[in-house]
Amino acid sequence: MLTSFDFLFNTIKYKHCSDSDLFSFRVSSKMASFRLLFAISLVALILFATLTPSISKTTKNDDVEDDEDLRFLEETEGKSDVGSPHSHFNEEDEDDQYGDLDEDDFGDSDLDPYKEPEVDDKDVVVLKQGNFSDFIENNKFVMVEFYAPWCGHCQALAPEYAAAATELKGEQVVLAKVDATEENDLAQEYDVQGFPTVYFFVDGEHKPYHGARNKEAIVTWIKKRIGPGLYNVTAIEEAERILTSEAKVVLGYLNSLVGPESEELAAASRLQDDVSFYQTVNPDIAKLFHLDPQVKRPALVLIKKEAEKINHFDGQFVKTAISEFVFSNKLPLITIFTRESASSVFESDVKKQVLLFASSNISEKYIPSFQEAAKFFKGKLIFVYVQVDNDDFGRPVADYFGVTGDGPKIIAYTGNEDGRKFVFDGDVTLNKIKAFGEGFLEDKLKPFYKSDPIPETNDGDVKIVVGNNFDAIVLDESKDVLLEIYAPWCGHCQALEPTYNKLAKHLRGIDTLVIAKMDGTTNEHPRAKSDGFPTILFFPAGNKSFDPITVDTDRTVVAFYKFLRKHASVPFKLQKPVSAPKGEPETKTGESKESSNADSKDEL
Ligand SMILES: *[C@@H]1O[C@H](CO)[C@@H](O)[C@H](O)[C@H]1NC(C)=O
Ligand SMILES: *[C@@H]1O[C@H](CO)[C@@H](O)[C@H](O)[C@H]1NC(C)=O
Ligand SMILES: *[C@@H]1O[C@H](CO)[C@@H](O)[C@H](O)[C@H]1NC(C)=O
Ligand SMILES: *[C@@H]1O[C@H](CO)[C@@H](O)[C@H](O)[C@H]1NC(C)=O
């Protein structure tokens, strides 16, 4: 997986600063997938690059005779550098990319990025390693912001956060901040992977805050969580106000406003903290909420503004059953994909998604059956409609899923965990979608992977791998295969290209060795996991069912050659050319430039 879908969403939705300076020693694909949280738009997503430190810059050459004379490789390397496709490597482009990164990192203002603006945040508590745990333990509700002083998005949040702290002064909640650049251990303990990261602690348990970064939103969000969670409705006007103003409400029609029924309801409300819970004993109010005033109490109803507006609860009146009912029914049958709805999809506890792609002029034809099908999968699958002719967010998501044209196309997606996709085939009818959804839940569908067309000829030194010939080339048990996963726009990939071509040229006589590359933006394969571009993987012959080895040697011909000599299942040796060409004066510079890129990686 090059990117995950929710990660894509996050890039649309959130502004974050990267942490790469801070935790450069922690490299995992999970982290890499968070690196991009700070990109604001897909344009930025496609344009910028960030540095990923490599874990190890040195290669263990123990198995390779160190005295092997490899100078001929370097010399040829220098020589063929001249007139090689080096022009592809456009320094200016790369600078531009980093320019974008900087701007994004530090916000759009002209502020000196390292100068913290003056903010009066006297009501924001400063926490450090030494007093963090005690403080969290002794305060029931604490919001904590992990920030980096240099991060523009944190600077933008600071005055809002300070104002929220002041407004909430006297309530049962404290707003605190931790400078993650100083409190490294704390930031690690709380898995801080971008700035700002805001958590809300309730009795020591934390949950992320993903709401808007302004005072109003923070205050409203917090008030909801520190309030009683369950409110009385006694007046008709009050009931009317609630029904018109709130998007999702639960009403319990009880025998009494105090006692066990009310307690179960209050407990359920704490488990579903994005829905407002009310209780009443007034039959007229129950009626307004579409309950039969004569119904046996306790009764409960969930009312939302979207399709299928009313859901009646018919389970046992205990907190778990109520909470499950609300969980299954609170999401709209179909979520229309927008910037605003993104978080409800991706922060949902339901991870599996079924996405309908269609342009707006044909959507009305397909949405009704799609929506009808959704009723069978409440609480198990999220149904999302993506308007492909929306260039702002619909098109990028369609591109991510490899969907072209106006649709309709339906794709099931397992979410971020393994990122598998399944393509719906046939007419968009209720029964077919239902069968598709069932097959998806039971894991009976065949996954789909993006692929360019298989190239007609493929006899260059570097073999072209696409999704659909991956098995044939990369998983061929008789070959040792080195695979570069690149992106056309990636500067580091372009810088690597001449070296990679030279390596392939040197090794082309060796039958058991394949040097290959794959455009990771248009091709996918479950065995081609990459956490950025370029990713270089080695698949040893005779051992293709194991995970490949990630190659992180220096990006020079010699280093690659030594790596291959060490790891290839089928031993090989290059014959030194009879008369090695003389090195050009540029040899040295060419070489050092390439190795300086060894720890650089563009990410998507
Ligand atoms: C925690 O410790 C730091 C440094 O000693 C101090 O500045 C801060 O005020 C303390 N916070 C609380 C809530 O005691
Ligand atoms: C609801 O009413 C009951 C009974 O009057 C009262 O005990 C309780 O505190 C009220 N709850 C809220 C949130 O006001
Ligand atoms: C819908 O709009 C697209 C352009 O977005 C157009 O290509 C297509 O022909 C239209 N389809 C219908 C049925 O009008
Ligand atoms: C295959 O790869 C695994 C994991 O890298 C390794 O433990 C094993 O020894 C390899 N087997 C052979 C036959 O090379």
CATH number assigned to the domain comprising residue 300: 3.40.30.10
Which listed residue (490, 496, 536, 558) is catalytic? 490
From CA 148, how far away is CA 183, in angstroms rounded?
10
- Please tell me whether residues 459 and 571 are part of one structural domain: yes
Amino acid in the structure at residue 542: G
Relative to the CA of 543, which ligand 4 atom is closest?
Answer: 1
Closest Cα to atom 5 of ligand 3: 389
Q: Are 460 and 592 contained in the same domain?
A: yes
Write the pLDDT tens digit of every residue in 32-72: 233 222 222 222 222 222 222 222 333 333 344 444 666 66
Please report, for residues 137, 146, 166, 273, 467, the alpha-carbon distance to residue 176 in angstroms, rounded to integers and kept in the order given: 14, 9, 12, 22, 48
**In this predicted structure, what is the pLDDT of residue 343?**
66
Q: Rounded to the nearest whole angstrom, what is the distance from the C-alpha of residue 237 to the centroid of ligand 4? A: 72
Asked whether residue 103 carries a pLDDT value surpassing 60, the answer given is no
Q: Do 99 and 83 have their domain in common?
A: no
Question: The tokens of 157 are what?
Answer: 């949040």
Domain membership flag for residue 543: yes
- 17 is an active site residue: no
What integer pLDDT is reported at residue 88 of this predicted model? 33
Residue 413 alpha carbon to ligand 4 centre in Å:
32
| Boundaries of domain holding 555 | 71-92+451-596
Residue 278 lies in a domain: yes
Q: Residue length, the chain?
A: 604
Binding site membership of 126 for ligand 1 (Cβ less than 6 Å)? yes
Report the pLDDT averaged over residues 240-251.
89
254-279 residue pLDDT tens: 999 999 999 999 989 877 877 889 99
Task: Examine residue 38 and state whether it is found in any structural domain, yes or no.
Answer: yes
Catalytic residue among 178, 233, 485, 493: 493
337 by Cβ neighbours in 10 Å (0-12 / 13-18 / 19+) ranks as: buried
pLDDT of 109 > 80? The answer is no
The ligand 3 atom at the shortest distance from the C-alpha of residue 361 is 1
359 lines ligand 3 (CB under 6 A): yes
Q: What is the pLDDT averaged over residues 172-185?
A: 94
SS3 465: strand
Environment class of 296 (CB within 10 Å of its CB; exposed 0-12, middle 13-18, buried 19+) = exposed
Q: pLDDT grade, residue 239 (50/70/90)?
A: very high
Ligand 4 atom closest to Cα of residue 542? 13
| Closest to 44 in 3D by CA, of 4, 1, 96 | 96
* 284-299 mean pLDDT: 94
User: Do 502 and 534 belong together in one domain?
Assistant: yes
Q: Range with the lowest mean pLDDT among 48-62, 122-136, 189-203, 210-224?
A: 48-62
Q: Are 288 and 243 in contact (CB under 8 A)?
A: yes
Q: Indicate if 502 and 543 belong to the same structural domain.
A: yes
Say yes or no: 174 and 44 in one domain.
no
Q: How many domains does the chain have?
A: 5
Residue 61 lies in a domain: no
Does the residue 114 lie in any domain? no
> What's the whole-number mean pLDDT along residues 180-196?
91
Cα–Cα dist 328/516, whole Å: 47
478 and 579 assigned to the same domain: yes
Ligand 2 close to Cβ of residue 266 (< 6 A): no
Does this model's pTM top 0.75? no
Q: What is the pLDDT of residues 538-557, one digit of tens each?
A: 999 998 989 999 998 999 99
Ligand 2 touching residue 228 (CB < 6 A): yes
Residue 486 phi, psi dihedral angles, 5° rounding: -130, 170
Q: pLDDT band at residue 153, thresholds of 50, 70 and 90?
A: confident
Q: Is the CB of 90 under 6 A from ligand 4?
A: no
> Ligand 2 test: best mutation among 258, 261, 280, most atoms within 8 Å of CB?
258
Q: How far is the CA of 257 from the centre of ligand 2 (A)?
A: 6
Quick one: what percent of the chain has pLDDT higher than 90? 48
Does residue 345 fall inside a structural domain? Answer: no
Q: Are residues 459 and 437 in the same domain?
A: no
255 and 372 in one domain? no
Catalytic residue from among 136, 154, 239, 504: 154
Largest CA distance in the chain: 100
6 — phi, psi (to 5°)? -70, -25
Asked if the model's pLDDT at residue 136 lies above 90, the reply is yes
* Torsion sign over Cα 245, 6, 222, 153: negative
Rounded distance between C-alpha atoms, residue 448 and residue 446, angstroms? 7
Residue 368 shares a structural domain with residue 306 = no
Q: Is 493 a catalytic residue?
A: yes
Overall average pLDDT of the 336-358 stretch:
81
Between 470 and 46, whose confidence is greater?
A: 470
Q: Is 361 in the pocket of ligand 3 (CB under 6 A)?
A: yes
Q: How far apart are CA 160 and CA 157, in angstroms?
A: 5
Same domain, 560 and 547: yes
Q: Atom 3 (ligand 4): residue with closest C-alpha?
A: 546
The secondary structure of residue 491, as a DSSP letter, is: H
Question: What's the pLDDT band for 587 if we cut at 50, 70, 90?
Answer: very low
Please give the pLDDT value at position 600: 52
For residue 203, pLDDT beyond 70: yes
Q: How far is the CA of 411 from the centre of ligand 2 (A)?
A: 48
**Calpha distance 210→10 (Å, rounded):** 10
Distance CA 353, CA 344 (A): 12
Within 13 Å of residue 328, how many CA atoms lie on the same side as its CB?
16
Token pair for residue 378?
Answer: 């409440």
Q: Identify the pLDDT of residue 15.
A: 52
The pLDDT assigned to 578 comes to 58
What would the two tokens of residue 13 be? 């939705």
Task: Judge whether residue 158 has pLDDT over 80.
Answer: yes
* Residues 432 and 505 reside in one and the same domain: no
Residue 276: per-residue pLDDT: 86
| Residue 192 to residue 573: CA distance in whole angstroms | 47
Q: Is residue 57 part of a domain?
A: no
Rounded alpha-carbon distances, angstroms, from residue 156 to 15, 45, 150, 151: 11, 22, 11, 9
Residue 159 lies in a domain: yes
* Catalytic site includes residue 154: yes
> Is the CB–ligand 4 distance for residue 543 below 6 Å?
yes
The HSE-up count of residue 7 (CA atoms within 13 Å, CB side) is: 23
Q: Is residue 4 pLDDT above 60, yes or no? A: no
Amino acid at position 543, single letter: N
Residue 59 Cβ inside 6 Å of ligand 3? The answer reads: no
